[in-house]
Amino acid sequence: MAKKSTLTVQNLSISMLKIGKEDYISLTDIARNKNATEPKDVVKNWMRSRATIEFLGLWEQLYNADFKGVEFDPLLFEAGSNSFTLSPSKWIETTNAKGIISKSGYNGGTFAHKDIAFEFASWVNAGFKLYLIKEFQRLKDDENDRLQLEWNLQRTLSKINYKIHTDAIKENLIPKELHKNQINLIYANEADLLNMALFGTTAKEWRETNPNAEGNIRDQATIEQLVVLSNMESINSVLIHQELNQQERLLQLNKMAISQMNSLLGNKNLKNLK
């Protein structure tokens, strides 16, 4: 499902859709910069140009494996002639294009992938394009900052719960009179118990298979995984106090990880954070 947001560029409100990982910007709204009453005509005029059709065709060839190249050739041949006309809906229907989307209804209009939208904005007004790119980048920076804050919050929560976790280990699993190396081994072993339950691998195994990755296995975790990890640390401390052995705890923690990950990945509210 597409996530909608709005850019404000020189007092003009421009709708934007997030479809998967890609951003689509409203060409209809951008066109209002040139013709506020008939923006559709601006888009159609832009699509009459041979240079535009060449650009759209190249974009589709690069990013759309289902693009109909055979149907595209006649359009390119006719483009630029006095009798040539082309609407966004006809372009999509004829070539199976993915870079442009035509939506009907109250909040409808023509949307295009940001690459195409920036090209259209340049045709409408070069100065407006620069303001559009600047505002788009500001929005992306804000989104990245929010996601980083969310990740850091979960990471901090995980670290706090890990203190509870290690205290339980110290009270219940570490025998007296052990030297420091032995104690560290037990801590590492318990950390990998959680790693195995959630990630299916130990920290060492992960490092061996990801030699060029930055940080450790937990630094590369998703928000969902960090939430589950935080919960697992608390639950494991309870299981340790209950004197369950590692095998029993591993089985319970793995079942919990599977259940909670399934729940989080289907959570609409968590998806909206992305």
How does pLDDT run across 209-263, given as a tens digit for each residue? 998 888 888 888 887 788 888 888 888 888 888 888 888 888 888 888 888 877 7
pLDDT of residue 51: 92
Q: Which of 12-21, 62-71, 114-123, 174-183 has the lowest mean pLDDT?
A: 174-183
Given a contact cutoff of 8 angstroms between Cβ atoms, the answer to whether 201 and 195 are in contact is yes
pLDDT of residue 247: 82
Residues 61, 151 within the same domain: no
Identify whether 132 is part of a domain: no
Given a contact cutoff of 8 angstroms between Cβ atoms, the answer to whether 3 and 18 are in contact is yes
Q: In this structure, how many other beta carbons lie within 10 angstroms of the beta carbon of residue 156?
A: 12
Phi, psi of 170 (to 5 degrees): -60, -40
* Mean pLDDT, range 105-114, rounded to an integer: 83
Residues 214, 160 within the same domain: yes
Phi, psi of 134 (to 5 degrees): -60, -45
* Mean pLDDT, range 133-137, rounded to an integer: 87
Identify whether 169 is part of a domain: yes
Q: How far is CA 180 from the centre of its chain?
A: 43
Residues 107, 190 within the same domain: no
Confidence category of residue 173, pLDDT binned at 50, 70, 90: very low
- Two tokens, residue 6: 């709005």
Identify whether 192 is part of a domain: yes
Confidence category of residue 56, pLDDT binned at 50, 70, 90: very high
Identify whether 133 is part of a domain: no
- Is the pTM here over 0.85, yes or no? no
Range of the domain at 248: 145-271
User: Nearest Cα to 221, choosing from 128, 165, 270, 154?
Assistant: 154
Identify whether 139 is part of a domain: no
Residues of the chain with pLDDT > 90, as a percent, come to 30
